[in-house]
Structure 1
Amino acid sequence: MKKRGLSALLLSTLLVVGGCEVASKKDVVKEESKEPSIQKPVEIVLLTQSRDETDANVIRDQLSKAGFQVKLNLQPDFGSYTAQEKAGNFDVAISSWTTVTGNPDYAVRSLFKTGGDYNKGPISDPEIDQLIDTAASQTPDEYKATYEKLEQRLVFDKAYIAPLYVSLKSQGLNHTVLKESSVRLSKSRSMVWEAIDFVDESKRGKDPLILQQAISSLTSLDPIKGNDGSINMLNTNMYVRLVNLTDDDKITAEGALSHNYAIAEGNSDYYFLLRDDITFAKIKDKLAVDSQERVGAEDVVFSLNRAKNKDAVPDHRTYSLHEHIQNVEIVTDLNALTSAKQSGGGGTIKEALEKGVKAPISELASEKANADNQAGKYQVVKLTTTKPFPQVLNYLAHQSAGIVSKKQVESINTFDVAKYDVNKDITYGDQATVTEGATYNNALAASGPYILSYKNDYEAVFYKNPGYRKGTEFEPKISKLVVRFIKDADSALAALRSGEIHVYYGIPETKFDLVKNDSKLKLQTLESNGVAYLLFNLENREVSKSEDLRKAVLYAINQEELIKTYNDNKFKASSTLTPLVKTGLELKSDSNKVKEYLKKYAESSK
């Protein structure tokens, strides 16, 4: 009894929350065990944040049963989690990725290619780099075999990650307040704000549409400086793009800056016929005003050139998504459109661009102020890729390809990027400039349907862009939009049920039944491109040195147990590619392999 009491006392000292560590009873090795021990239990530090505590508890138990001594580095929010990640205070971290562009290259390039913006391992593997680039140049029929090789090396040969599950995408809405048909749920694209409407249309100009998100600290309102859950939905609705994704991940010009797009022979040249009915919104006295500055080809060229340039801004976080862009230019010679042929032999580029427009192309304007679509005078942008790369269109639908105002951004970012000083230099889109208080100085210029006016710790307030597609079906229906910051899932659901918010985007699978059973609410779901996985720390840790140790962790993971925790509302994953490419590979937990790899690790550590 004394021995057990002492063990419990020692166990209690291991429990720490938010920067500390947690161990369960299963972490404690019984001294009286008669089984021969390979070595003392291997300590594994598992980094997570409070929203993923369910996953952390299941994974901790699985690893403990496999013979690891697991300690949790449990952080209260995304910001503190990121700080711990950057500091390297973990062996494995619960991470996730949603392929919001609908193409498989996005599911791997930033995450796993050497130097990728979100390569947090970091992984540096020439074979993986080559496979990513090879697959990017292939058609869907060709790239399946290449992505299978990539997944094999990434997960099963090298154990750089350990896949957990594929999630459902979900949202709950109050259908007594909002028209259910106006609230879209897209497989990859974020929520389409401009389409949402009240049941009582008389409320459009009086009442705000109230949404929610968990993260209140916004990475940046400059679309190229962030690619995470804090700003993806916000920037997607603040900046228009050349093309969009449909709800089922097809490329479309609907709701975009382009009337049409066309691919030339060779799949390296892409043409876009621009609209002339969008102007930038600005904020004056915390309200949206029309700047009268048209969104045009000059802004497109500027935006995409800075998107591909790693040195365009300090802390550029999306450059690898656009590294395949070689050149972006304004087309001024009409003969260039008639001489260039469409890919697949379907006629000229001019013919493709003119489909469905009211006036055929009679003249090309070099300056945006001179465009007049009704008179047949258009602007055309030509984008050339470094090599044939049809997936470029998916990247142009991503929020990081949002079109910013050349004039406005250049007026703010006047510093030398190489000498950037975080303490004195203000960058375009800095959240401090839109936060209420002494730092507030909103200099945003939004090309999309809404513009952020101000934020605080409680909410962010947006207003419709008065110069966005006015008089068309794409003009935003509701004048004011509020995004409430509600970190806790139970609190967010309570807010939806009480009418405090109108849409809850990303309802946890464990809460589905509560929404279904509420007569005021409607649950919308579809299988997403979101995959959760364990990311190994590949710098200065035991797991970075030992492939065997990583594989022991890999085969200790039982996905079926995790999925049951969510009432079977998640699905098995092999990698971040799983929702997009069915490779046929599958991770199966295997206690014998765990023992085998732990033994190899122990022998190599002697």
Structure 2
Amino acid sequence: MGKKLLTIMLALVVVLAGCVKTKSDVSGEKDSGDTKGSGGSGKVTIELLGTSAGEDDMNIVRDQLIKNGFDVKLNIQPDYGSFKAQRDAGNFDIALSSWTTVTGNPDYAVRSLFKSDGDNSDINDSEVDALIEKASTETPDEYKETYKQLEQRIVGEKAYIAPLYISFKAQGVNKDVLNPDTVRLAKSRAIAWETIDFNDASKRDTDALITQQAIGSLTSLDPIKGNDGSINTLNTNMYVRLVNLTDDDQVVSDGSLSYNYAIGDGNSDYYFLLRDDINFAAVADGKAVDTGERVGADDVVFSLNRAKNKDAVPDHRTYSLHESIKDVEIVTDIAELQDAKQSGVEGSVLEALELGLETDITELVGEKTAADSNAGKYQVIKVTTNEPFPQVLNYLAHQSAGIVSKKQVGSINTYDVAAFDVNKDIPYGDQRTVTEGATYKNHLYASGPYILVQKNDYQADFAKNPAYRADSEFEPKISNVTVRFIEDSDSALSALRNGEIHLFNGVPETKYELVENDDKLVLQKNDSNAVTYLLFNAVDREVAKNENLRKAVLYSINQDEFRNFYHGNKKKAYSTVSPLVETGNELIADPAKVKEYIAE
């Protein structure tokens, strides 16, 4: 899930008249009983939002809250657009939410969600801010205690969230069509398509790999403008990054734009030796073509500078992931690499960057067209952070750090950001430009292994970048990929079993046996960084603003009941940090505390 921001809070307000309530209807402006009680019952009414896919979880939460003295309204919404209208109106007390740390580092698990200026945060707590910043500068041995304190503040002391469980990650593969050994299932990062291959290699150019995702309305194909389930996998496969994550969350150069990377002494300078064998792809006449433009250092500088600049684009959704970056520059003096020492080990940065190269570095060049690794001429990028921050490498592996074309994006984004008009201005990556019909005018430049050719309401079609790592192990095996939009997980599983799709990433825990018992399928399973929790509406609802009532909800939650329902295929959680750092914190349901907090 990447890893992907995944915060899903969907709601359909269930009312007797069958219509959607307005904000005044449910906020208490028409009936204060919605907040303080329910029709004279004396009980506190909680309005719980969730998606239809999460109805089982909602029912468990509802039963636990009712048992502890609450009245509960369930609000189930079938699509994101309707949810967003409800959420913007503030029509909820608590929402069924989830978060997957797709970068594999604990800072990502908290910064966006809980920091006062986080792009997904409604929390304003200076103590939380200070603990997040402190942990970000520490090594894993040091930050364990800091994250423990942070968790205790977020959950035990303030009850900003109520954790439910950690999920496993599972996908079903049609082993009659695909070679399962070529299909990766990483703990954090989105699935990589370039390694996947058919059992019959002769079908690589004639047949498409068919996979699926739930969301068909794409936030943006500009990697910095989205961080959700609609684009995480798509942008991960469309844009190359300086580094990647292994399936167990180790930062590596494999399959990235760099041959090697090195951390300078002091943990503030990060060096990357760039490859010279990747060109941008474009779409012409419905096919992927080589633009002839190399992906180089100027594109990296441009991409990371806009990634860290909140005002680079309207509705920038990932800037908080890259705010640790102070400078991005091209290094042209080889003496700097010779003089710079590596962090924590003997040797220079130059030695680290040359490790395993066929030709050593003899010259550093500023222009990407002058780079020639066979002749020892390379480009080097240095990223400098505001404070020592080794976790910056995990953020550079995230899809939002994907490298875009400086020339192409600059030629498209000619609008005034401050005066941006969504009805008139068409920004780079707007899904309208790839949607079949009158709006189609594909302007994408992809630096990764695939490029989106076109989409409609039912699917998106991708083609192999012909200039991505040609003749190497990372050249994409299958030429075409189709992503079907199937929102319902049961429908997706049915499509997999019927052979309509070859790969279903996200098999529900309650359906594992169906996959395992199907002769033509194989179930791949791994730990994940996905945490499901209840998020309080601390902005618009008095119930959620009241710390005692939040704690009453918190201590109503019995995580064992979720684990039993899912046949043991869930783990206990305390916060979004739980899958990444063993803090020892644990939530234990306590009805006595619930009564105490409600009384207060």
Any idea what SS the aligned residue of 2:335 has? helix
Distance in 2 (CA, whole Å) between partners of 1:557 and 1:363 is: 61
Note the 1:82-97 alignment, pairs <5 A.
Answer: 82-97=84-99
* Aligned partners of 1:102 and 1:580 also within 8 Å: yes
Any idea what SS the aligned residue of 1:194 has? coil
> 2:446 maps to which residue?
446
How far has the Cα of 1:567 moved from its partner?
1.4
How far has the Cα of 1:73 moved from its partner?
1.9
2:103 to 101, 104, 122: 101
C-alpha distance after superposition, 1:299-327 (max 9, x if no partner)? 00000000000000000000000000000
> 2:50 maps to which residue?
48
Note the 1:442-481 alignment, pairs <5 A.
Answer: 442-481=442-481
> 2:9 maps to which residue?
none
Distance in 1 (CA, whole Å) between partners of 2:146 and 2:20 is: 41
Any idea what SS the aligned residue of 1:374 has? helix
1:72 to 62, 71, 74: 74
Distance in 2 (CA, whole Å) between partners of 1:420 and 1:576 is: 35
* Aligned partners of 1:56 and 1:94 also within 8 Å: yes
RMSD: 1.6
Distance in 1 (CA, whole Å) between partners of 2:257 and 2:367 is: 16
1:285 alignment partner AA: D
Distance in 2 (CA, whole Å) between partners of 1:563 and 1:132 is: 30
Shift of the 38–573 alpha-carbon distance from structure 1 to 2, 3 Å rule, reads farther
How far has the Cα of 1:78 moved from its partner?
2.7
* Aligned partners of 1:19 and 1:73 also within 8 Å: no
How far has the Cα of 1:220 moved from its partner?
0.5
> 2:227 maps to which residue?
227
Shift of the 50–19 alpha-carbon distance from structure 1 to 2, 3 Å rule, reads farther
Distance in 2 (CA, whole Å) between partners of 1:107 and 1:406 is: 30
1:389 alignment partner AA: F
Shift of the 152–39 alpha-carbon distance from structure 1 to 2, 3 Å rule, reads farther
Distance in 1 (CA, whole Å) between partners of 2:501 and 2:591 is: 46
> 2:35 maps to which residue?
none
TM-score scaled by structure 2?
0.94
User: Residue 579 in 1 paired to residue 562 in 2?
Assistant: no
C-alpha distance after superposition, 1:209-266 (max 9, x if no partner)? 0000011111000000010111100000000000000011101000000000001111
Distance in 1 (CA, whole Å) between partners of 2:393 and 2:46 is: 41
How far has the Cα of 1:14 moved from its partner?
4.3
How far has the Cα of 1:564 moved from its partner?
1.6
* Aligned partners of 1:18 and 1:76 also within 8 Å: no
Note the 1:305-320 alignment, pairs <5 A.
Answer: 305-320=305-320
How far has the Cα of 1:440 moved from its partner?
1.0
Distance in 2 (CA, whole Å) between partners of 1:519 and 1:39 is: 55
Any idea what SS the aligned residue of 2:186 has? coil
TM-score scaled by structure 1?
0.93
User: Residue 215 in 1 paired to residue 215 in 2?
Assistant: yes
Distance in 2 (CA, whole Å) between partners of 1:420 and 1:397 is: 29
Distance in 1 (CA, whole Å) between partners of 2:457 and 2:56 is: 26
How far has the Cα of 1:540 moved from its partner?
2.7
> 2:204 maps to which residue?
204
> 1:394 maps to which residue?
394
Distance in 1 (CA, whole Å) between partners of 2:523 and 2:18 is: 37
User: Residue 238 in 1 paired to residue 206 in 2?
Assistant: no
* Aligned partners of 1:280 and 1:446 also within 8 Å: yes
C-alpha distance after superposition, 1:359-383 (max 9, x if no partner)? 0000111011110011100000000
Question: Identity across aligned pairs (percent)?
Answer: 66
Shift of the 171–55 alpha-carbon distance from structure 1 to 2, 3 Å rule, reads same
> 1:116 maps to which residue?
118
2:245 alignment partner AA: L
User: Residue 501 in 1 paired to residue 501 in 2?
Assistant: yes
* Aligned partners of 2:22 and 2:89 also within 8 Å: no
Distance in 2 (CA, whole Å) between partners of 1:580 and 1:589 is: 23
C-alpha distance after superposition, 1:489-530 (max 9, x if no partner)? 111111101111000001000110000000100000111000
Distance in 1 (CA, whole Å) between partners of 2:81 and 2:582 is: 34
1:110 alignment partner AA: S
Shift of the 503–15 alpha-carbon distance from structure 1 to 2, 3 Å rule, reads farther
How far has the Cα of 1:38 moved from its partner?
11
User: Residue 183 in 1 paired to residue 169 in 2?
Assistant: no
Shift of the 19–202 alpha-carbon distance from structure 1 to 2, 3 Å rule, reads farther
> 1:563 maps to which residue?
563
How far has the Cα of 1:19 moved from its partner?
7.0
* Aligned partners of 2:106 and 2:577 also within 8 Å: yes
Distance in 2 (CA, whole Å) between partners of 1:275 and 1:599 is: 64
Deviates more, 1:501-510 or 1:70-79: 70-79
1:55 alignment partner AA: D
4+ runs of 1 displaced by more than 4 Å? 12-21
C-alpha distance after superposition, 1:84-124 (max 9, x if no partner)? 222211110111000011100000000000111111xx001
Distance in 1 (CA, whole Å) between partners of 2:580 and 2:75 is: 32
Larger Rg: 1
How far has the Cα of 1:443 moved from its partner?
0.5
Shift of the 185–280 alpha-carbon distance from structure 1 to 2, 3 Å rule, reads same
> 1:135 maps to which residue?
135
* Aligned partners of 1:457 and 1:485 also within 8 Å: yes
> 1:346 maps to which residue?
346
Any idea what SS the aligned residue of 2:194 has? helix
C-alpha distance after superposition, 1:52-111 (max 9, x if no partner)? 111111111111221111112211023322332222111101110000111000000000
Deviates more, 1:101-110 or 1:63-72: 63-72
Distance in 1 (CA, whole Å) between partners of 2:133 and 2:110 is: 10
How far has the Cα of 1:15 moved from its partner?
8.3
> 2:588 maps to which residue?
588
How far has the Cα of 1:565 moved from its partner?
1.6
1:102 alignment partner AA: G
Any idea what SS the aligned residue of 1:210 has? strand
C-alpha distance after superposition, 1:455-500 (max 9, x if no partner)? 1111000000001000101000000000000111111111101111
> 2:516 maps to which residue?
516
> 1:542 maps to which residue?
542
How far has the Cα of 1:51 moved from its partner?
1.3
* Aligned partners of 1:273 and 1:353 also within 8 Å: yes
Distance in 1 (CA, whole Å) between partners of 2:149 and 2:279 is: 46
1:502 alignment partner AA: H
2:410 alignment partner AA: E
Shift of the 17–214 alpha-carbon distance from structure 1 to 2, 3 Å rule, reads farther
Distance in 2 (CA, whole Å) between partners of 1:557 and 1:572 is: 11
Note the 1:371-390 alignment, pairs <5 A.
Answer: 371-390=371-390
Distance in 2 (CA, whole Å) between partners of 1:78 and 1:183 is: 29
Shift of the 584–17 alpha-carbon distance from structure 1 to 2, 3 Å rule, reads farther
Any idea what SS the aligned residue of 1:193 has? coil
Shift of the 152–17 alpha-carbon distance from structure 1 to 2, 3 Å rule, reads farther
1:53 alignment partner AA: E
* Aligned partners of 1:462 and 1:481 also within 8 Å: yes
* Aligned partners of 1:166 and 1:532 also within 8 Å: yes
Shift of the 19–274 alpha-carbon distance from structure 1 to 2, 3 Å rule, reads farther
* Aligned partners of 1:170 and 1:525 also within 8 Å: yes
1:309 alignment partner AA: N
How far has the Cα of 1:143 moved from its partner?
0.4
* Aligned partners of 2:537 and 2:545 also within 8 Å: no
> 1:33 maps to which residue?
none
Shift of the 543–465 alpha-carbon distance from structure 1 to 2, 3 Å rule, reads same
> 1:603 maps to which residue?
none
> 1:8 maps to which residue?
none
Any idea what SS the aligned residue of 2:223 has? coil
How far has the Cα of 1:153 moved from its partner?
0.6
C-alpha distance after superposition, 1:415-474 (max 9, x if no partner)? 110111111111110111111111111101000000001111110000000010001010
> 1:162 maps to which residue?
162
How far has the Cα of 1:199 moved from its partner?
0.2
Distance in 2 (CA, whole Å) between partners of 1:540 and 1:110 is: 20
**Could you list the runs of 5+ residues in structure 2 that have no partner in the other structure?**
1-13, 27-38
